[in-house]
Amino acid sequence: LQRHYAVLQALALDEDDMPEINDETLPDEEGMARPGVVKAVEEFKLSVYGENYDEESDMGNGKASDASKKRKTAAENAAKESANYNWPDLADNGQLKDLTVTELKYYLTAHNLPVTGKKEVLISRILTHLGK
């Protein structure tokens, strides 16, 4: 909050230099690494979560896992559909504009590229990815 007000003040007064604010709320990493603190944190986790808790496998309420599976399935389907096209030939012959937006999105999804934008943007993105 102090930083926010300092930046607002600097902007209001047309000052070139933004003031340095020391954030006292950040934890002391050296202090947090002490064996006593580490032991206390581990005991706290054990008392709250129990012995069988695994942080890496915890995905909240399971919805993220379902969404992740849907995205993975969609990406696999897009990769299969994308394999049906000869993308370099289509790009060389200027035939990308003859494809539908859905067909263009197959390529983009299969290559983990953004699928948002108008058709011209999608085509440009594909051409850039192909190096054309």
Q: Evaluate whether 91 touches 132 at the Cβ level (below 8 Å).
A: yes
Residue with tokens 């200027």: 94
Q: For residues 100 and 118, is the Cβ–Cβ distance under 8 A?
A: no
Tokens of 120: 């011209």
pTM as predicted: 0.49
Question: What does the block give as tokens for 78?
Answer: 């897009």
The per-residue pLDDT string of the chain (132 residues; one tens digit each, 9 = 90 and over) reads 777 888 888 888 887 777 677 777 777 777 778 888 888 888 888 888 887 776 665 555 555 577 778 888 888 888 888 888 888 888 888 888 898 998 898 888 888 888 888 989 899 988 888 887
pLDDT at 66 (0 to 100): 77
What pLDDT was estimated at residue 71?
81
pLDDT at position 19, please?
Answer: 67
